[in-house]
Amino acid sequence: MKRYLILEDGTVYPGEGFGAETVTTGEIVFNTGMSGYQETITDQSYNGQIIAFTYPLIGNAGINRDDYESITPTAKGVVVREAATVTGNWRAQMTLDEFLKRKHIPGIMGIDTRALTRRLRTAGTMKASIVDAADAHAFDQLKALVLPKNQVQQVATTQAYPAPGTGRNVVVIDFGLKHSILRELAKRSCNLTIMPPTTTAEEILALHPDGVMLTNGPGDPKDVPEALTMIRGVEGEIPLFGICLGHQLFALANGADTFKMKFGHRGFNHPVREIATGRIDFTSQNHGYAVDPASIDPATLLVTHEEINDHTVEGLRHRLYPAFSVQFHPDAAPGPHDAAHLFDEFMEMMDAFNRGKDTTHA
C-alpha cells in the first residue's frame, strides 16, 4: 500500500503503509533510541505527534503486556526505515503492525529516516502528514492544521484514583504520566493518589500527603497556567518532585521562563552532569521545551543538572523549600537507569521533612 510522508516545507517522502489505514497529521519529531519503541509510542508526551525512529529496524520484539506507558496511546503516526513483520520474542503478544491497527495509528516504512532526521535538525520540528496522495489538497490540509493548545487535558485523568500501597502517601499530579513513574514509586512502597492537572493546592493539602509528584506530559508548559498556582500553594508545605513537564511547570511557578527548542531531546543517550558532584548520568528524555537559564532567579532556584551536549537546564532545586525537579526521566522506560536514585532522594526528602515536623510539634 503506497503512502507518502509530506512535510509543511514541501518535502515528500514516498513509502509503504502499515498499521491503521488512515490519513494523519501532526507535529513530526524524531527519536534516537535503538529499542523501547513500545514504551515510546505509548508515552502520552507524544500526544499529537508523528514519531520518526532513527534506528533502521523497529518492531522486531513485537508488543508485550509489560511495556505499556499508557493503555491508549495518542501519537498520530509512526515513521520507520523498516518495520519487522515477524517476531520470535517470548513475551510478544502481537506484531507492531497489529498493534498500530488496533490503536488506529497509521505508519509508513521505507523512509530514509536518517535523511529525515537531518532535515528536522536543520529546519526544526514541523507539521507533517501521512497521506495516500501527495497532492495539492494534502498540502493545503497540512498548512491549515492548527496544533492544539489543550494537550494535557486530552491525555490526563479527569478523576482522582488510588494506587494503593503501604508506605509514604504521595499525591501524583497527572499531566500525561508514564506508568513507569507509578512503578518506581510502587517499588518504594508508596501509597499513591493520582489526581487531575486541575487539582488545587487546597485539595492536595486536605489529603495530608507526605509528598507531591508532578509528572511528565505533552505540549507547551505555558498552556497549563492553572498548575502554577497549585505548585506555589504546595511548595514549602510538603516536599515536591517534578519530572519533564513537571520540571518546566516548577520553573515557571518560581519565576523562570521556558522556550520551544528547535528539535528537542527524544531518546535515551543524553548525558547529564550533576553540577555539584560532576557525576554523569545517561538519561532518557522526551521534550520539546526547556527552561531558559537566563530567566532563573538564583536567589530562588539552584541549577543542579545540565545537558553536556547543549548545556540546557536539566535540574532545579528550590533554595528555601524541599522541592526539586529534573528535565529527564529517572524512571527511564525505555533507557538507562542511571538516575533512578532520584526517586530515593525524594523518599529521603519526605522522611526528613516529616522528622522535622515531628520535632517541631514535640
Ramachandran angles phi, psi of 57, nearest 5°: -120, 120
Q: Are residues 278 and 344 in the same domain?
A: yes
- Contacts of 98-103 with C-beta under 8 Å, sequence gap 24+, read 98/63, 99/38, 99/63, 100/18, 100/19, 100/20, 101/19, 101/20, 103/20, 103/72, 103/73
CA distances from 349 to 165, 239, 324 (A): 19, 7, 10
- pTM across the whole model: 0.96
Tens of pLDDT, residue by residue over 108-166, are 999 999 999 999 999 999 999 999 999 999 999 999 999 999 999 999 999 999 999 99
Q: Can you tell me the distance from the alpha carbon of 77 to that of 359, in angstroms, rounded to the nearest whole number? A: 54
Q: Are residues 143 and 188 in the same domain?
A: no
Catalytic residue (one of 43, 174, 281, 331): 331
Structural domain containing residue 323: 154-361
Q: Are residues 271 and 343 in the same domain?
A: yes
Q: Which amino acids are annotated as binding site, given as ranges?
A: 45, 217, 219, 245, 248, 286, 288-289
Q: Are residues 13 and 66 in the same domain?
A: yes
Catalytic residue (one of 174, 244, 270, 281): 244
pLDDT band for position 65 (50/70/90)?
A: very high
- Taking 90 as the threshold, does the pLDDT of residue 356 lie above it? no
Q: Are residues 308 and 171 in the same domain?
A: yes
Q: Are residues 12 and 61 in the same domain?
A: yes
329 is catalytic: yes
Q: Are residues 143 and 158 in the same domain?
A: no
Q: Are residues 100 and 179 in the same domain?
A: no
Q: Are residues 87 and 179 in the same domain?
A: no
Q: Are residues 128 and 274 in the same domain?
A: no
CATH of the domain at 356: 3.40.50.880
Ramachandran angles phi, psi of 310, nearest 5°: -120, 5
**Percent of the chain at pLDDT above 90?**
96
pLDDT band for position 357 (50/70/90)?
A: confident
210 is catalytic: no
Q: Last residue of a domain, which of 131, 147, 163? A: 147
- Taking 60 as the threshold, does the pLDDT of residue 362 lie above it? no
Q: What is the mean pLDDT of the chain?
A: 96
The cell for 215 is 509528572
Tens of pLDDT, residue by residue over 157-199, are 999 999 999 999 999 999 999 999 999 999 999 999 999 999 9
Q: Which of 49, 61, 114, 30 is nearest to 285 (CA)?
A: 30
Tens of pLDDT, residue by residue over 323-335, are 999 999 999 999 9
338 is catalytic: no
Q: Last residue of a domain, which of 98, 115, 147? A: 147
Q: Are residues 218 and 166 in the same domain?
A: yes
Residue 1 is predicted with a pLDDT of: 86
Ramachandran angles phi, psi of 17, nearest 5°: -80, 150
Q: Are residues 137 and 185 in the same domain?
A: no
CATH of the domain at 93: 3.50.30.20
Q: Which of 334, 333, 332 is nearest to 281 (CA)?
A: 332
Sign, Cα dihedral of 289, 293, 297, 299: positive
Catalytic residue (one of 247, 270, 318, 329): 329
Q: Which amino acids are annotated as binding site for L-glutamine, given as ranges?
A: 45, 217, 219, 245, 248, 286, 288-289
- Count other Cβ atoms within 10 Å, centred on residue 57: 13
Q: Last residue of a domain, which of 90, 121, 147? A: 147
- Report the domain count for the chain: 2
- Taking 60 as the threshold, does the pLDDT of residue 97 lie above it? yes
**Percent of the chain at pLDDT above 70?**
99
